[in-house]
Amino acid sequence: MAKTYNTFTNVATGDVYTAASHNAILTNLAGYRVPPAARVTRASQNINNSTWTFVDTWVQDYDTDDMWTTPNNYVEIQTAGVYLIAWGGSFASNATGSRIASLSLNDTGAGAGAIAGGVIGRASNAATSQDINGSVVQTFVAADKLRLSVWQNSTVTLALTSAYITATWLGQVS
């Protein structure tokens, strides 16, 4: 359920402080005390070679605004505003190829429709595990959906050993 934030007007001498005004202030304070936020994580998933793949079967760490939708595997914005979005994951070690993590907006397809104008999070080949992370501060409207997809070209199926998406509301758009 989306959180609501009331807009207040200036008061003048002699204005009456009503119960409705008091309750509106309490609603705002409660929303700012526990702002909309969600974090989901994924333990492991095999990723085929040279194939964009949505990360699925997430576990919710926390969700203060009903943003996580288990059957659809995406974070859905409930309260419009400016958000800090962070995402990423770790691939198993493999010395061949590259790894990419992309957060798509509104279910445009794995690897497509990336937020912030393009793919964020890229790693070159490495003999050790590879962490790929991205973040953006961006305005979202209610019902925007965020979904993580990954790609790798190690020439073999490679394990994505962990992944995460975090969405934290920073404030209203003025």
pLDDT digits (tens, 9 = 90+) for 12-26: 788 787 887 777 777
The residue-averaged pLDDT of 49-66 equals 92
The residue-averaged pLDDT of 40-63 equals 93
Tell me if 134 sits within 8 A of 144, measured CB to CB.
no
- DSSP 8-state secondary structure symbol assigned to residue 126: B
Scan for tokens 């073999």, then name that residue: 156
The structure's pTM equals 0.80
Domain 35-171 has CATH 2.70.150.10: no
Query: Which residue would you say has higher pLDDT here, 112 or 26?
Result: 26
Do you know the residue count of the chain?
Answer: 174
Q: Indicate the domain borders of the chain.
A: 1-34, 35-171
The separation between the first and the last C-alpha atoms of the chain, rounded to the nearest angstrom, is: 21
Tell me the pLDDT of the chain averaged across its residues. 83
Residue 35: CB partners within 8 Å, gap ≥ 6?
Answer: 3, 64, 168, 169, 170
